[in-house]
Structure 1
Amino acid sequence: MSAGAEAEARDEAPETQQAPDAVAKVDPETLALRARPPRTIRFRKPVIIGGTVSTCLLLAAAGWMALEPGAIQLAPAQREPDSKGANGSDTLAGLPRSYGDVPQLGEPLPGDLGRPILRKQAQLAQ
């Protein structure tokens, strides 16, 4: 059969073939009405503005109190005990004047790697 004959056959019987995208109609008696949609909740602008302002004020007050810790005292501050009367300059006078005056340390403890490291550095320097 040629292409022209197929086209004529399709043109002659349009009632017998339905378009693939056509949807069959539904009987209106079988349809049911939907329930009402839920009611929209509406807020008043003054309520929203008042809540926002109060939240901002609470945050500002919390920040103010956090930045000023000395203003609110729940308990009296405890004083540190005074040192034994030693003056700061007297304490500094008792320290060694140079590294040569510092007392030498004793024998190294087990696991101390100071001597092996110094030996390796001396070998590499030679």
Structure 2
Amino acid sequence: MMRNQLVEKIEQRRKQLKISLENLAKLSQLGMRTVNRFFAGDDVKLSTVESITNILGLDFAGNEVVPFEQLQKNRAHQKAQFMASLVQSTSALEMQGLEKEVLEKMIAGFEQAFLSGEYKKRLWVA
């Protein structure tokens, strides 16, 4: 496969997930300049390709490894856990830590909000 074809496949997946280049750089822990060089078709390290493709649920050849829906669910769950941990930390400071059931409901609510609710546009924001 030609480099241009690989970059195009990865670009299509990025657009499908609606991840900006800036957020892709942050999520993959790469510099913006490096990400721009990759999408311009310039030479980059294999570790750069691996970082970008891992975030997008692809392999080195640009083939889907993690289905689109599962990738979104995984990301929503990660963000929901983070949001719930913020609430849990605040509650713990007030000596009122949340019970497990309440915490699980909160996580489920945040997941739903990231997948189809008010936070949907922020799913891939780093």
- TM-score of the aligned structures, taking structure 1 as reference length: 0.25
Greater relative contact order (CA < 8 Å, ≥ 6 in sequence): 2
The structure with more radius of gyration = 1
